[in-house]
Amino acid sequence: MAQLSPTRSRASLPKQLANFTNSTAGLDLTLRLFHSLALIGSGLEFDDTTVMRCSIAASQIGLARRYLRFFGFIGCFQNVSDILATGSSFRNRAAMMDLFESTCLGMYLALEGTTMVSLPVSYRSQSKHSVNRAGQLHDMNIFLVPWYTPILLESYKFWFYAMCVAIARTVSVLLFGPVVPSTPKGSIDEKKDHTSSDYPSSTLVPVTSSLLTRLVIDSLDLTIPGSLLGWFPVSDMGVAFTMLASTILVWPTAWAKAQP
């Protein structure tokens, strides 16, 4: 008599929530949700006390999120090193875009990290939306430095460029399909033996719906640095709702990845 394979029991909701919040990505996404809600609360027509409390909450949550990504530039630059080590960065479309995206993200995180313990002095940005307002919400305000605002502006530019590369990569996959890894040299029989399981999951053909979702999420996130730089005419409330929408869209994928 054939034996039935034991089915894997699904973890309880509290256990799944614990797995999610114990991961760095899950914790950051949870704080991002509260961050966007606090920003929305600070922009609504509540009484002055409620608005002030929402503004303080938004500033403290934003600072907490910066702690989580403080050393994120190390992973970005390591990814750049790995791509260059393979020697395929200028022969492979996907590798080249990954190289540019990781470089821009690493520069953004590294430059943003230098402003963690600084406070802007009398320097006004020429952009439409003042960066001083946004910067003071997220920094420790320990040292007075004259380079705070220009450095933060440059970091936002690299953030913007990284999001543009991510959008371009998704569009290229939708239009031209994913880059298929080259087949290892060998006999014909050896080539036939290779299956999709031999390659990393990142090289498998992604589902069109997931690509479209990723495109929407990245497009929404692009408005955040674009607004801070004054390149997009988006209000503070619009940025807050954009952050909330992208957080909700990415939540199911991040939740599933956090589960063992």
Amino acid at 225: P
For residue 63, the model assigns a pLDDT of 87
Report yes or no: 107 and 158 within 8 Å, Cβ to Cβ. Answer: yes
Residues 6+ apart with CB under 8 A from 102: 76, 77, 79, 80, 83
- Phi, psi of 4, deg, nearest 5: -80, 135
Which class for 208: exposed (0-12), middle (13-18), buried (19 or more C-beta within 10 A)? exposed
**Helix 24-43 with 48-68: angle, nearest 10 deg:** 160
Written as tens digits, the pLDDT of the chain (260 aa) is 444 444 556 788 999 999 999 999 999 999 999 999 999 999 888 888 999 999 999 988 998 999 899 999 999 999 999 988 887 656 688 888 999 999 999 999 999 988 886 654 433 333 434 444 433 434 666 767 788 889 999 999 999 999 999 999 999 999 888 765 554 444 334 433 443 344 344 444 458 889 999 999 999 999 999 999 999 999 989 999 999 999 999 999 999 999 98
- Phi, psi of 183, deg, nearest 5: -75, 130
- The distance of Cα 45 from the centroid of its chain, to the nearest Å, equals 30
DSSP-H helix ranges across the chain = 13-22, 24-43, 48-68, 72-86, 93-114, 131-136, 148-176, 188-193, 208-228, 236-258
Segment 145-196, tens digit of pLDDT: 788 889 999 999 999 999 999 999 999 999 888 765 554 444 334 433 443 3
